[in-house]
Amino acid sequence: MKKKGFLIAFGIILSAICIWFVYMNSYKQGNWYLIDSNGDLVSRIGYEKTVGVLIIDDEKYFLLTRVNGFDADSIFYRETLFVVNKEGK
């Protein structure tokens, strides 16, 4: 009987850790989107802000950031920089 209780407690703890890990690595939907010259969305990912543009071999790469779901004062807060071409890749 003790073994069954231990397995249930272990399963609950493992599930909580998995949910926390998914939440920590998920991003909030930002307000910046890539669009083409017709105004159509290139990428449906919403970025938090734009940092700049790189031009390498006459091709533009956009520097965009996204943040995770934690508050900026939290130790778990993370802002990630993305380098995205004009096709959204």
Per-residue pLDDT in tens (0 to 9) along the chain, 89 residues: 577 777 888 888 888 887 777 766 666 777 777 777 787 887 777 788 888 888 988 888 888 888 877 777 878 788 888 888 878 77
Q: How far apart are CA 76 and CA 54, in angstroms?
A: 29
Nearest residue to 56 (alpha-carbon basis) of 35, 80, 86, 34: 86
**Amino acid at residue number 15:** S
Measure Cα distances from 81 to 3, 18, 84 in Å. 46, 24, 10
Query: What is the value of pTM for the model shown?
Result: 0.58
Q: How far apart are CA 32 and CA 72, in angstroms?
A: 19
3-state helix, strand, coil in the chain (%, to 5): 25, 35, 40
Q: What is the pLDDT of residue 25?
A: 64
